[in-house]
């Protein structure tokens, strides 16, 4: 079968075998869950519970009535100890709900309920997804109900299910695709019911052939009109293959124009983890209160994939022996090493969009000094959105913001491919982030 890909990209060391070969493990419940009220792109939530309140697992504890927002739920049954600021992996200090779990109450059981979704209105399905607090599980955390609410005048012609998982170390999507294939497929059918696309692509990189074969097995026994519109796509393993625009280019040959969105050309991309969360919401009435997370890195004795409650802190994960450190990490990164965020400690929680937490030694987390550009253009060749990173960086250093804007800096997806490939070790993506921020501020003036 032909393997599809996009122009540009890089081939970093993937290090996926550290966790890929291990079975999915379920971690103990948190003693105290620290649940940030904002775990999504959009309007921040406000607490709808008070200190000393008794809450049940799955109960909404924070919400905002704005359309672009997503409620958060209690991951455990227990008592609200406090509502105060706590550390967030990307937002810094943010308002959070501290919940002490009731030791005498076990975790709630969510059972499958048979439903004919063809008899359920699209609006009702979107409402159920919204109320379950589902956001993009691939990292962006954009509220899923917003993405599924297609504006008037727009039409989704192609739905792409993203199973690329191109970041090094991360294997949570791979494990989910292998062990929860049927459930993901049912979630895809819910998305199909809402969007009515003409085509559906399930896109998986060729270093996840076990996941590809798992879906093929499901398809052998599947039937119905949806099968005439659904196609499995095998992608070449390359970073950042999982980017929306790169997936669209690889699967269809079409390009999203500069400053445009996939919906502008009739495409919508959803992560496999999001499809699984949709299944749980629609068929099990389960909100997004736990997820599969890759815990990996060369500092761990037992890297693997773990089913973790939202609100469980990394500090408690270590203290309970869920993971074992064989040496002190030089860096702790939330997400993958390319686009993840380095942390200053362990007192942060698992969030809805936490795909992985990496514990890297000094050998893996090397720090380089910036040298002089040798004009090799490797960054240009690697850029998946056809930018000129080195030129943008030069203009950022000089403060030439008009030129930076003219070079389509806002189209940068901050994948880090340019910085990775640069022989002079210029932190190109950091300069580009600075340029994007300056251009954004300039537009607001």
**What would the mean pLDDT of 141-160 be, rounded to a whole number?**
96
User: Which residue do the tokens 């996840």 mark?
Assistant: 208
**The pLDDT value given to residue 444:** 75
**The pLDDT value given to residue 95:** 97
What pLDDT digit, counting tens, does each position of 384-428 carry?
999 999 999 999 999 999 999 999 999 999 999 999 999 999 999
**The pLDDT value given to residue 23:** 87
What pLDDT digit, counting tens, does each position of 267-276 carry?
999 999 999 9
Confidence of residue 114 (pLDDT cuts 50, 70, 90): very high
Per-residue pLDDT at 284 exceeds 70 = yes
**What would the mean pLDDT of 285-314 be, rounded to a whole number?**
97
Per-residue pLDDT at 146 exceeds 80 = yes
Residues of the chain with pLDDT > 90: what percent? 90
**The pLDDT value given to residue 106:** 83
Per-residue pLDDT at 331 exceeds 90 = yes
Cβ atoms of 50 and 60 within 8 Å: the answer is: no
Q: Name all domains of the chain by residue range, CATH numbers in brackets.
A: 117-284 (3.40.50.11540), 378-444 (no CATH)
**The pLDDT value given to residue 164:** 97
Give the whole-angstrom CA distance, residue 160 versus residue 231.
10
Average pLDDT, the chain: 95
**What would the mean pLDDT of 126-132 be, rounded to a whole number?**
98
Per-residue pLDDT at 264 exceeds 80 = yes
Per-residue pLDDT at 365 exceeds 80 = no
**What would the mean pLDDT of 26-49 be, rounded to a whole number?**
95
User: Long-range contacts of range 194-198, CB-CB < 8 Å, 24 or more positions apart?
Assistant: 194/122, 194/125, 194/126, 194/148, 195/148, 195/150, 195/156, 195/159, 195/268, 196/156, 197/156, 197/157, 197/158, 197/159, 197/229, 197/268, 198/157, 198/158, 198/229
Give the whole-angstrom CA distance, residue 74 versus residue 63.
12
Which residues contact residue 417 at a Cβ distance below 8 angstroms, ignoring those fewer than 6 apart? 8, 9, 10, 239, 240, 338, 379, 382, 383, 384
Q: What is the pTM of this model?
A: 0.95
**The pLDDT value given to residue 1:** 67
**The pLDDT value given to residue 107:** 86
Within 10 A of 440 (CB to CB), how many other CB atoms are there? 12
**The pLDDT value given to residue 445:** 67
């Amino acid at each position: 079968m032909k393997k599809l890909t996009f122009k540009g990209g890089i081939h970093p060391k993937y290090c996926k075998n550290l966790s890929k070969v291990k079975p999915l493990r379920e971690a103990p419940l948190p003693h105290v869950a620290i649940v940030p009220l904002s775990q999504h792109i959009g309007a921040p939530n406000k607490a709808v519970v008070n200190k000393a309140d008794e809450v049940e697992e799955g109960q909404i504890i924070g919400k905002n009535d704005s359309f672009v927002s997503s409620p958060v739920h209690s991951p455990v049954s227990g008592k609200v100890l406090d509502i105060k600021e706590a550390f967030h992996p990307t937002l810094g200090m943010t308002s959070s709900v501290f919940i002490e779990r009731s030791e005498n109450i076990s975790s709630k059981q969510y059972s499958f309920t048979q439903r004919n979704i063809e008899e359920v209105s699209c609006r009702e399905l979107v409402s159920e997804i919204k109320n379950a607090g589902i956001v993009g599980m691939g990292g962006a955390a954009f509220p899923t109900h917003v993405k599924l609410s297609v504006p008037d005048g727009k039409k989704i012609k192609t739905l792409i299910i993203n199973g690329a998982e191109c970041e090094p170390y991360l294997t949570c999507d791979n494990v989910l695709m292998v062990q929860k294939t049927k459930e993901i497929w049912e979630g895809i059918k819910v998305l199909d019911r809402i969007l009515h696309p003409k085509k559906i692509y399930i896109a998986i990189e060729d270093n996840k052939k076990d996941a590809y074969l798992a879906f093929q097995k499901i398809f052998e026994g599947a039937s119905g009109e949806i099968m005439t519109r659904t196609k499995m796509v095998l992608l070449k393993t390359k970073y950042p293959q999982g980017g929306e625009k790169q997936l669209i280019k690889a699967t269809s040959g079409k390009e999203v124009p500069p400053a445009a969105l996939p919906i502008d050309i009739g495409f919508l991309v959803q992560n496999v983890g999001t499809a699984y969360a949709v299944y749980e919401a629609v068929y099990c009435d389960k909100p997004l209160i736990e997820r599969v997370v890759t815990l990996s890195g060369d500092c761990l004795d037992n890297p693997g994939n773990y089913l973790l409650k939202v609100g469980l802190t990394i500090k408690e994960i270590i203290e309970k022996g869920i993971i074992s450190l064989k040496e002190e990490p030089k860096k702790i990164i939330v997400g993958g090493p390319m686009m993840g965020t380095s942390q200053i400690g362990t007192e942060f929680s698992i969030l809805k969009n936490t795909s992985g937490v990496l514990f890297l030694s000094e050998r893996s987390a090397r720090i380089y000094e910036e040298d002089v550009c040798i004009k090799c253009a490797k960054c240009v060749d690697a850029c998946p959105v056809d930018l000129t990173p080195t030129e943008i960086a030069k203009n950022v250093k000089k403060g030439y913001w008009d030129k930076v804007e003219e070079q389509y800096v806002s189209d940068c997806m901050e994948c880090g491919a340019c910085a990775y490939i640069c022989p002079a070790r210029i932190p190109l993506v950091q300069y580009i982030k600075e340029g994007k921020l300056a251009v954004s501020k300039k537009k607001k003036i």
